[in-house]
Amino acid sequence: MAADSEVYVLGGYQTDFGRNWSKENKHFSALMREVVLGALERTDIAPEEVESAHVGNFAAELYCMQGHLGAFFTEVHPAFSGLPTGRHEAACASGSIALLAASAEIEAGRYDLQAVVGVEQMKTVSAAEGGAFLGTAAWYSEEADGIDFPFPKLFGRLGDEYDARYGLDDEYLAEISKINYANAKLNPNAQTRTWYMNKDHALCRSDDNPAVGGRIRIADCSQVTDGAVCVFLASRAYAEKYARGMGKRLEDIPRIKGWGHNTARLRFSDKVAESLENEYVLPHVRSTITSAMKRAGIADVNGIDAIETHDCFTTSEYMAIDHFGITAPGESWKAVEAGWLEIDGKHPINPSGGLIGAGHPVGATGVRQLLDGCLQVTGQAGDYQVEGAKNVQTLNIGGSGTTSVSFVIGV
Amino acid sequence: MSRLPPSTAQVRRLLASREIRHVVVLGANGTMGYGSAALFTQAVPRVTFLARTKAKAEEGLAAAIKQVRSPTVASRADVGSYEADLERTVGEADLVFEALTEDLAIKRAMFDRVEKARRDDAAVATVTSGLSINELCEGRSDSFRKNFLGLHFFNPPNVIVGTELIAGRDTDPDLLDFIEAFARLRLGREMVRTADTPAFAGNRVGFKVLNECAQLAEELGPVLVDRVVGPYTGRALTPLSTIDLVGWDIHRAIVDNVYESTADEAHDTQRLPAYMAKLMQKGVLGNKTGGGFFKRDGKTKLALDIASGDYRPVSEIALPDLGYVDDVASLYAQGRYEEGMQVFLAAEGREAEAARQVVAGYIAYAFHRVGEVAESINDIDRIMGMGFNWAPPSVLVDTMGARAAVELIEKAELSVPEVLVAAAKSGGPRRFFEHPHINVGRFFVAG
């Protein structure tokens, strides 16, 4: 295991996830341009300082008929022409994979300042067509071909697996949805901040909240979102210089204290078969979380002040609760019932609103989670600030629990 | 100087300082009534829909459910009539929300009844879009005036978050702070405090621009006006289509009120065009009467011929070459907003000049209203951005640069606001628009 990570996060910028860029008649390159220029302005970094860029994106080839996204970084500013760039893909974990690659290059001493951009434009196609595109994050021919909205069904099965092993009352899933939507109202960049939602609605069984995959109803789902996020990662040497220039101390600059990364087998049925003897339903996800904590020198979840987790569906957040160790395996409902997950609770989850409330532009999500962690530990999260947060942990998942990445960010 | 926004801790304290567990909505069958009532059910356990009859209130509830697409509205709502239920329900309410027709006498008569029935600590809010808050509560008890305020949602409130908060002379500052925090954090509103001036801030500035476009239509015709003052000038919905959507009668009520009760430097642009008054006599009120500047005949879009009052297919109306609009749009499509703006500023021809006149008038008028309708340009910016979905005046200035903005306003032969002159001279401030969470790019629609 590597020594103390020396990767610093200087800050960044996200687009308003409520925007529909197709309705604005905009090309995907406008997303990239706005987010990178926004991040430069917000962090007060000159474009000439950036040495390299990593772009996380899932499926621009499908949604926008456009590949080679790393090259679009050079279109943002004349100073970027010639920079080394690349694009990373691991389904919904694409953003985190881009972050891992950038931080590895910093740790290797290749570069001192890197831009990481997560971007996805999804509202270019109908819901059904988009649902099929997302199916390529599973083993398409085995699990998604010919199925309407394959992913809600796969994560419905995650709920069923919990139900079979430990019992699961859907009321707890509705409560998870409600908390995410309520937190989103506090986040000025959240997609659903103006949507109508309360717990009654999340629980209601009507045409306004139809089932889309087994026990998964519309209110249990994350959103189809256009969005981009950009953060700047830096070496210790650069962060020291940056902190001096900003009149700050190095200790005030957030650092990636630990990371975890695992990839499980693609098919959901294979994952479940592998874990039958295990107390955790998705043991590789558990391993990702604990290895990030271990690298950060944090003993357990009591050392984490807030979590930004991958609630692509309420069942994935339900899974995250016990996998983070907030409760014993199978007892996630206890944390919901005790009110621990709310912003002022013992273990706040998704103060931003998460993927359900803030939105889920697939390739941008991992970067958005890290940026929100950065805002939290520097006290800049505004109305969704978790008071006194010093360490935030993310969990970003690609596929049906297939690729998992977790970061601990802290000051 | 504008007030500093309260810190997160202050806001949380404020929210805990008071509770709204029951709202009574008066006029709950009207568009603003049921729309606001639906909004309240998100955060308030009990919302009473009141109207002239119980059946009307039930219609309001059904419309609310349809608007927000949630049957759960009903589980938090009850319905009643003024005659049978007003005194009882108002007596139980923490907030009475008035959304009656825009008529001073009707509203004042209702407040008579509310005053007698309400608890001393109950707040009373009006959703009026322009009647004076002070006049509405004139002659009421101390307790009423202290607890009375304007809470101006824009239609439809479940979609448009910009909201004006207007204090009367005697409104309790603590109540204002609480309502502001509650509306922002529980109802997801973008709250802007405005003065108790005619049409407040948003409609004062917005309808000046819309009316100027209606005046311009006499020269250019509706199709060309909506093309040249179109999305690329910083709005999702074109100006004359907006008047059709709002309704010509509402448009007239707002501009007449402003024209009669103000005398600012843009007075002439607030005068309703004579052709609109004439057509309204014939029953033309916009979309609600099947047509205004535009109407549909099956799949054919028709446009008003102002001279004759007839309609002609839009496809048959010849337009001059407006290639510059496409050039601007293709730059916007790639997020190159500054470059697109420069193309607009440099474009030749009468149409581009007319569009620049409207944009210059918008910027100058908004900056000149600071200190009159709101404390700072940023308040006006937020209501234009989040209430009208238009590029806020400061965003336009930032995108073109202060020097170019001054030149634009000078060429339009309008008086240049001093802050712009100063900024052009000094080269600063770098940004007039001060809301880091609002993406300014969203206002530049490529089209």
Strands (E), B95-146: 95-98, 123-126
Asked if residue B232 and residue B129 are part of one domain, the reply reads: no
> Could you tell me which chain A residue has the CA closest to the CA of B43?
A198
Give the model's pLDDT for residue B221: 97
Give the model's pLDDT for residue A1: 41
CB-based contact (8 Å) between B437 and chain A?
A: yes
> How many structural domains is chain B composed of?
2
Q: Which of B161, B194, B227 is the last residue of a domain?
A: B194
Say whether pLDDT at A343 is over 50.
Answer: yes
Which of A142-156, A292-306, A342-356 is the least confident region?
Answer: A142-156
CB-based contact (8 Å) between B447 and chain A?
A: yes
* CATH (domain of B15): 3.40.50.720
Give the model's pLDDT for residue B1: 38
A197 contacts in chain B (CB < 8 Å): 42
- Is residue A70 one of the residues assigned to a domain? yes
Q: Which residues are CB-contacts of B346 (< 8 A; sequence separation ≥ 6)?
A: none
Let me know: does B162 contact B382? Beta carbons within 8 Å: yes
Identity of residue A301: V
Give residue B387's domain range: 202-443
Question: Which residues, given as ranges, of chain B have pLDDT below 70?
Answer: 1-5, 428-429
Q: Place A332 in a pLDDT band, splitting at 50, 70 and 90.
A: very high
Q: pLDDT per residue over A32-64, tens digit each?
A: 999 999 999 999 999 999 999 999 999 999 999
| Among B8, B188, B445, beta carbon nearest to A24 | B445
CA distance B328 to chain A (A): 12
| Among A30, A188, A387, beta carbon nearest to B335 | A30
Asked if residue B209 and residue B170 are part of one domain, the reply reads: no
A196 contacts in chain B (CB < 8 Å): 38, 42, 68-70, 158
Q: Which of B194, B221, B253 is the last residue of a domain?
A: B194
Cα distances from A176 to residues A221, A354, B202, in angstroms, run 11, 11, 38
Let me know: does A396 contact A364? Beta carbons within 8 Å: no
Give the model's pLDDT for residue B3: 58
| Among A24, A185, A186, beta carbon nearest to B442 | A24
| Helices and strands, number each (H, E), in chain A | 15, 12
A31 contacts in chain B (CB < 8 Å): 335
CA distance A328 to chain B (A): 32
> Could you tell me which chain B residue has the CA closest to the CA of A210?
B70
> Could you tell me which chain A residue has the CA closest to the CA of B7?
A382
HEC letters along A35-86: HHHHHHHHHCCCHHHCCEEEEECCCHHHHCCCCCHHHHHHHCCHHHCCCCEE
- Is residue A119 one of the residues assigned to a domain? yes
**Whole-angstrom distance, CA of residue B280 vs CA of residue B206:** 21
B329 contacts in chain A (CB < 8 Å): 25
- Is residue B95 one of the residues assigned to a domain? yes
- Is residue A73 one of the residues assigned to a domain? yes
A25 contacts in chain B (CB < 8 Å): 231, 329, 332-333, 445-447
Residue A296: name the closest of A393, A370, A365, A367 by CA: A393
Q: How many pairs of residues across A and B have Cβ atoms under 8 Å apart?
A: 91
Give the model's pLDDT for residue B431: 86
Give residue A62's domain range: 7-125+226-245
Q: pLDDT per residue over A184-239, tens digit each?
A: 999 999 999 988 887 788 877 777 888 888 899 999 999 999 999 999 999 999 99
CB within 8 Å: B437 and A15: no
Cα distances from A229 to residues A35, A99, A125, A359, in angstroms, run 6, 12, 21, 12
Asked if residue B157 and residue B50 are part of one domain, the reply reads: yes
Give the model's pLDDT for residue A340: 98
- Is residue B418 one of the residues assigned to a domain? yes
Name which of A35, A186, A198 to mutate to probe chain B: the one with the most chain B Cβ atoms within 10 A of its Cβ. Answer: A198
- Is residue B2 one of the residues assigned to a domain? no
> Could you tell me which chain A residue has the CA closest to the CA of B69?
A208
B75 contacts in chain A (CB < 8 Å): 200
| Among A200, A201, A383, beta carbon nearest to B185 | A383
Give the model's pLDDT for residue B292: 96
**Whole-angstrom distance, CA of residue B265 vs CA of residue B367:** 12
Asked if residue B258 and residue B235 are part of one domain, the reply reads: yes
* CATH (domain of A63): 3.40.47.10
**Whole-angstrom distance, CA of residue B404 vs CA of residue B411:** 10
Give the model's pLDDT for residue B5: 64
In B215-274, the residues whose Cβ lies within 8 Å of chain A are 231, 236
Give the model's pLDDT for residue A5: 56
> How many structural domains is chain A composed of?
1
Asked if residue B142 and residue B224 are part of one domain, the reply reads: no
A218 contacts in chain B (CB < 8 Å): none
Asked if residue B278 and residue B138 are part of one domain, the reply reads: no
Give the model's pLDDT for residue B427: 74
**Whole-angstrom distance, CA of residue B239 vs CA of residue B236:** 9
Say whether pLDDT at A411 is over 80.
Answer: yes
For β-strands A403-410 and B77-81, DSSP reports them as: unpaired
Which of A21-25, A117-121, A245-249, B424-428 is the least confident region?
Answer: B424-428
- Is residue B3 one of the residues assigned to a domain? no
B399 contacts in chain A (CB < 8 Å): none
Q: How far is CA A392 from the centre of its chain?
A: 13
Can you tell me which residue has the tokens 């000078």?
A: B410
Asked if residue B250 and residue B175 are part of one domain, the reply reads: no
Q: Which of B159, B194, B229 is the last residue of a domain?
A: B194
CB within 8 Å: B70 and A42: no
Burial B286-324 (b: 16+ CB within 10 A, else e): bbebebbbbbeeeeeebbbebeeeebeeeeeeeeeebeb
Taking the CB of residue A294, how many other CB atoms lie within 10 A of it? 14
Q: Is the sign of the CA dihedral A367, A369, A372, A377 positive or negative?
A: negative
- Is residue A158 one of the residues assigned to a domain? no
Tell me the whole-structure pTM to 2 decimals: 0.94
Q: Is the sign of the CA dihedral B332, B338, B339, B345 positive or negative?
A: positive
* CATH (domain of B230): 1.10.1040.50
ipTM, two decimals: 0.92
Q: B346: burial class by Cβ within 10 Å (0-12, 13-18, 19+)?
A: exposed
